[in-house]
Structure formats: structure tokens, C-alpha cells
Copies of this chain bind each other. A is one copy, B any other.
């Protein structure tokens, strides 16, 4: 039943997404650039946006970069009724040579196509969209902030734009990309966060869509987040099943470091079983850890584990550290987890985080800001 993304794409005999057809229409009224300390995540945007329309009849239309502008939608548009919508989160960084770099955008393109396929929105060749995003970055490069922790957040979004209240396969869609200069996601910066382990509400389930970056996965999480906030927690740690399996945080994947019985360290995160977002940062953490941590001292695991396991490890002094990993916050140290009546305290050996958390954040930062070349993970926009 699951076709590969490539097959779907090749099945499509209509116009493919073609970056070479790009039309650029520059703004005549440039926006003011805000100082770094005035940046709020996702609140202000660059001068331009990228748009590509798609119809079932003709395929992908002409890509256009034009001044940032409102969208005009009929009130019957399916994105407003049936959540035909998905997005990606990517960041662009300014390196010391003033190049603008994106981080593993190819992974975002693959995931975006998987999300699109799951809700019958059109797929496309990822490299074409990456090239178009590069053009947007070159045009709006002055909005990419300087400084550690600062970047230009990119939001590729795909919405169904058919105008009909019948629930059926979209015959029109709009892919757009907007860009917002941002600082650290949490107002607290690289400060540890507290999570509430949540089991009364369930984010995702087997056979559902929790592993796709669909809008549908987000609105339902806000009320539990509000409830957690009332009790002093910044985010929910989503548990699954009677066993209390640890899944993810909703805006981040989650990693723990345990001391094992034979004195090694285990870096562990939940496996991609269909209930967990396939995070690009998650993948990067795993790959860097496998590559850089000494294998005689470290075990890197994608396996199921429960909140009870974490509580037991903590009680025995074998919980070393924990952190969230996601594009918005990159790496976010965890200081405590509220679970039923107990508070699981997570050590912060490096001050505001664990030692590995700090190390991994730095490894990723160096690649993102182009200080270190690593595989093909960093791409210079041209």
C-alpha cells in the first residue's frame, strides 16, 4: 500500500516542480531589520516569500518569489475545514564568511514528501524546492541574523486549496515558504526545561499520522501543554500505552543518557515505530553520537523504554542526563520530569545541561554555522 515517494513522483506525468522556471518580483518597500534581542520566534518575516501553485490538471505551476503578502482563500477552501496542511521547519545560518547555509535540507524534503503523500497532497523533487529556497535566501540574506543561537527559520508549507466541502482528494494546492529571523526558541535560551509526563491525552498511535509533520498533530497538543504550564512545566512528555512508553515532546524528540550495569553509558531514544516524528535533529544526534563517541564506553540505542525505567534509573543514580532535539530548539536540556506525584530530577553536570548535551549541541552548531564541514550536512545557498 505504501508507494515510495519516488514512484509517486514518477507516476505524475504533469509538470514537475521546476526551479529553473522561477520568477522573482522584488519588493519596493523593504522591511526594517530587527536587532537580535527583539526577535520573537515566527513573528516577523523577511521581505519575500516563495509560492508554487499545483493543480491536478496541470501539475506544478511557475515558482514565484514575490513580496511577502497575505493569502486570499475562499471560505470553502479545504485547508480551513479538513486540515489539508503540512509543513517543515528548517534553519539558515550565517557563517563567518557571510555565506548563508542550510542544515540537512534534503532530509526535510524527503519528510515533506512523505507528509504530502499521506494526505494526498502533491509530491515533488526535493532538490528543486531546495534550489528555490536557496534563491529566497540569497534575496533575503540581509535578514539572516549574525550570532550564536540566531538563524533564519524557514517554514515550507503545503496546503490543499480545493474549494469544496466534500471530503475528497485535493485537486489544488499551494506550496509556500516564509522565513522568520529567530533567536533561541525558548525565551530561557540554552536553559534546561521541565516536562510533564502526560498519559491522559495521547499525541499519536500506531496506524495514525504522528510520524508525519501534519498540522493535524499540533492543535490537539496545545490544551495539554496549557494544563502542564499551569503546573509549572514547559512542555508535555508524551507517554504511550499502559506501559508509559516514552515517545517524544511534540516539538522535539527526546534523548536520555543512562549508566548501564557494566558501567557504560547508553544514549537512548524511542524508535521510529510510526508514533514518533522522524526528526532531522534526532537523526543528526544519533549519527554524530555513533561517529564520535568511543564505542567501548557508549551504547547508542533506538529502543522502547518507559517513564518507569527513567524513574528507576534516576532513583539509582543512573540517570545521567536528558535532552530534547528538534529544529526550533536544536538541543534543549531537560532538568526535571513531573510524573504522577513524583518529580524526576535530571542531573545537569555541565551547569545548564549534561556534558553530552553540551557536547552534541556544540557539534551540531559547528556544522550548522559552517565552522566544521561534516558529510554533506551543510549547504551554501547560491
Which residues of A pack against B, CB within 8 Å? 1, 40-43, 45, 49, 68-76, 79-85, 87, 117-120, 153, 155, 157, 159-160, 163-169, 176, 178, 180, 199-202, 205-209, 214-223, 225-227, 250-251
Contact = CB atoms under 8 A, between A and B. Distances in A.
B208 A83 contact: no
A218 B85 contact: no
A23 B251 CA distance: 42
A220 B209 contact: yes
A1 B227 contact: yes
Contact of A81 (B87, B119, B201, B250): B87
Contact of A219 (B43, B76, B84, B163): B84
Contacts of A40: 164, 166
Nearest to A208: B202
Nearest to A205: B205
A118 to B, nearest CB: 6
B73 A73 contact: yes
Contacts of A225: 167-168
Given A165-B155, A207-B201, A222-B167, A73 B75 contact: no
Nearest to A87: B81
Contacts of A85: 80-81, 83, 219
A85 B41 CA distance: 22
Given A75-B70, A75-B178, A167 B205 contact: no
Number of copies of chain A assembled together: 2
A68 B43 CA distance: 30
B164 A42 contact: yes
Given A82-B218, A83-B219, A208-B202, A70 B70 contact: no
Given A167-B222, A223-B120, A215 B73 contact: no
The 4 closest A-B pairs by CB, nearest first: A42-B165, A202-B207, A82-B218, A216-B216
Contacts of A76: 42, 45, 155, 178, 180
Nearest to A251: B167
A277 to B, nearest CB: 13
Contacts of A70: 72-75
A157 B75 contact: yes
A121 to B, nearest CB: 8
B200 A1 contact: yes
A133 to B, nearest CB: 15
Contacts of A167: 218, 221-222, 225, 250-251
B226 A120 contact: yes
